[in-house]
Amino acid sequence: MNRIGYIAIFIWSMAAGEIWAQPGYAVEPLTLNTGYTNEIFAVAYEDGIIYCSDRRTSFLINRVDSTDHPLYHLFYASRKDSTKWGVSHLLSKNLPINAHQGPCSVSADGQEIYFTANDKTGQRIYLAQKSGKNWVNIRPFAHNSPNCTTAHPSLSPDGKQLFFASDMPDGFGGFDIYVCEWTPRGWGAPKNLGPGVNTPANELYPFIQGNGALYFSSSAHQSMGGMDIFSVREVNGVWGRPYRMEEPINSTGDDLLYTADADGANGYITSNRTGKTFNIFSFKSLFPVFTDCQEQEENEYTYEFRDPGITDMDATDPATTLKYVWDLGDGAIKHGEMVEHTYASTGQYEIFLNVMDTLTHEVTKEVAHYMLDVLDIEQPYITVGETLYAGASVTFDASQTYLPELDIEEYYWIFGDGTRDQGERAEHVYAAPGVYQVQLGVIGKSKLTGGVLKYCTVHEIIIK
């Protein structure tokens, strides 16, 4: 088995219940970890998880590879409660039990599985269909090759993309992340994600999340040491700059195999942060989850004025000497049946429509009279400077948020580079130039009902 895909076994004992918590996430080991075997990779499946382990599959038989290392197999464990798990058992005896079985990905309907397994020459991706409690019709992935490794598949929730790791000869060195697109004829040719994601080092274990974020593990991209977990997004067909996930998702140990639910609030990672064996850890976001965030709208205080009674007046006759005069309440005077005006700020403005006879210069005042309330758009609002540079402190301000029916209790920032913060004002330093999607979420109580409400907005910024 290739050393990149599987880990040698060491003896180690972990203190049960130890939790790593920092602003953002709480991380703790799963109780199904044995402490003396490797438990790696967990993905939600039915009412539990599928995971990999080199533990024995029976008391009588200990299957090993050509180096006498115990084989990794796919196991399933149901969840009993928030911390306890049912007895682990092989996911399926139909899968190649005399070979290493590696990370897998299950389709959204639970009827198809893509998994890593060894053949005679190395790691390959295989797929199978669900039939009752068994997996059948096992067959190789269309783009397996005897000349390279294909491993660690991750199927997008819509089933249209398959991400995987490979050392194909067109890569940038080591293992790279590739993607195939589903077509009417099957999986299209693999596409390398490019030099923004892939490096001369190893990029492994991709996971495509329901919100479009891709997670993978790498020893490059300014990792904290060893393998770290990174996040990256595709914008306008180009994969952006990867960002290292904050602590405690990453540590000074090797951290890999990130999987999560659609919004990233809960998930699993694999790490050797507390010893020499690898174990599975669950993580939980300590931030509220904000969904369906809308692009921030800019407050433009431009209005058109036209009185509905104008059509009944003689001033609509081209031959008339009558003209309309609008007093727009901020010192501006404009002429015409319909006028457009932009106010400098919010406020209440008193609008008068007068009529002037251009021949006699007599003015009929207050033909119409209005009170206009110029208000901000109801939304969380991100204020940030116009000139932003990598390496310099950037101030984010939410004080212009306008949600009149909400007593705001807290502001939450997600800066688009894998980091986050709290507070009405936040300072942040971006490590590199690029385009970032900044999210501001607010939470508070309704002034009408007292119930808890959440709102969020997204604003794109450019760091030079």
Nearest to 343 by CA among 353, 356, 334: 334
Task: Flag whether 436 is in a domain.
Answer: yes
**DSSP E strand stretches across 169-278:** 176-183, 186-187, 191-192, 203-208, 214-218, 228-232, 234-235, 238-239, 243-244, 255-260, 266-271
Query: Is 18:29 a contact under the CB 8 Å cutoff?
Result: yes
Two structure tokens written together for 208: 């495509």
Exposure string over 419-456, b if 16+ CB within 10 A, otherwise e: bbbeeeebebebeeebebbbbbbbbbeeeeeeeebebb
- 34: containing domain: 20-286
Task: Flag whether 97 is in a domain.
Answer: yes
Mention every residue, 6+ apart, whose C-beta is less than 8 A from residue 3.
none
Nearest to 106 by CA among 95, 120, 98, 122: 95
- Same-domain status, 275 and 256: yes
What distances in angstroms separate CA 287 from CA 62, 133, 421, one per listed residue?
A: 44, 37, 9
- Same-domain status, 337 and 438: no
Task: Flag whether 3 is in a domain.
Answer: no
Mention every residue, 6+ apart, whose C-beta is less than 8 A from residue 252.
224, 225, 226, 273
pLDDT at residue 55, as a whole number: 92
pLDDT at residue 14, as a whole number: 34
Task: Flag whether 1 is in a domain.
Answer: no
- Same-domain status, 310 and 270: no
Q: Cα(430)–Cα(410) distance, rounded to whole angstroms?
A: 23
pLDDT at residue 400, as a whole number: 92
- Same-domain status, 369 and 220: no
What distances in angstroms separate CA 30 from CA 34, 139, 368, one per listed residue?
A: 9, 32, 72
Using CB atoms within 10 Å of the CB of residue 304, give its burial: 0 to 12 exposed, 13 to 18 middle, 19+ buried.
exposed
Query: Is 436:463 a contact under the CB 8 Å cutoff?
Result: yes
Q: Cα(33)–Cα(268) distance, rounded to whole angstroms?
A: 13
Query: Is 297:379 a contact under the CB 8 Å cutoff?
Result: yes
Nearest to 25 by CA among 261, 280, 279, 265: 265
Q: Which residues in the chain come in under a pLDDT of 50?
A: 1-17
Q: Which of 352, 374, 396 is the last residue of a domain?
A: 374
pLDDT at residue 61, as a whole number: 67
What are 16-67's pLDDT values in tens digits?
Answer: 345 555 557 899 999 999 989 999 999 999 999 999 999 988 766 678 877 7
Mention every residue, 6+ apart, whose C-beta is less than 8 A from residue 431.
222, 390, 391, 417
What are phi and psi for residue 312, nearest 5 degrees?
-95, 0
Q: Cα(237)–Cα(230) distance, rounded to whole angstroms?
A: 19
- Residues written for the chain: 464
Q: What is the full DSSP assignment across 425-453?
A: EEEEE-SS-EEEEEEEEEEEEETTT--EE
pLDDT at residue 361, as a whole number: 76
- Same-domain status, 182 and 316: no
- Same-domain status, 219 and 134: yes
Q: Cα(104)–Cα(74) distance, rounded to whole angstroms?
A: 8
Does residue 248 have a cis bond before it (omega within 30 degrees)? yes
Mention every residue, 6+ apart, whose C-beta is less than 8 A from residue 212.
233, 234
- For the chain, the domain total comes to 3
**Which DSSP category does 236 fall into?**
T
CATH assignment at residue 306: 2.60.40.10
Block residue for tokens 């995971």: 51
- Same-domain status, 338 and 384: no
Q: What is the full DSSP assignment across 303-334?
A: EEE--GGGGGSGGGSTT--EEEEEE-SSS-EE
- Same-domain status, 315 and 271: no
**How many CB atoms lie under 10 A from the CB of residue 76?**
17
- Same-domain status, 73 and 163: yes
Residues forming beta bridges with residue 443, ordered by sequence position: 410, 454
Q: Cα(134)–Cα(95) distance, rounded to whole angstroms?
A: 9
Q: Cα(73)–Cα(96) distance, rounded to whole angstroms?
A: 9
Nearest to 216 by CA among 187, 155, 259: 259
CATH assignment at residue 48: 2.120.10.30
